[in-house]
Amino acid sequence: MKPKIYYKLDEILAAAKPFARTKDAQSSLEKHLRNIEAKKTNKPAQSITEISYESLREAILLLTVCYEELITAILVKFKLLGYKAIKRIVLSHPSLN
């Protein structure tokens, strides 16, 4: 089974900050990331501290038309800041993790 890639929410937000074009872009991204991951994991949005690559992709897709380029830029900045992704084997049902 291939591990899923997860990122710490605060680290992804730090990596994304230089790419924000509006005053509320950062808070909007955080809100979308928390809500998307919360829905996938059945956890309260405010308790979310890690997000999956899929959630990052979905949130960026909702916020911009050039989502692939923005995701690439954020992940490059993430690595330049010295952050590391979290690889985890995820069972098919959230209650099993």
Domains in the chain: boundaries: 4-92
Residue by residue, pLDDT tens for the chain (97 residues) are 678 899 999 999 999 999 888 889 999 999 999 999 999 999 999 999 999 999 999 999 988 877 788 899 999 999 999 999 998 887 765 555 5
The phi and psi torsions of 86 (rounded to 5 degrees) equal -105, 120
CB 26 within 8 A of CB 17: yes
Walk across the sheet containing 4-8 and list its strands: 50-52, 4-8, 86-88
Dihedral sign, Cα of residue 54, residue 58, residue 59, residue 65: positive
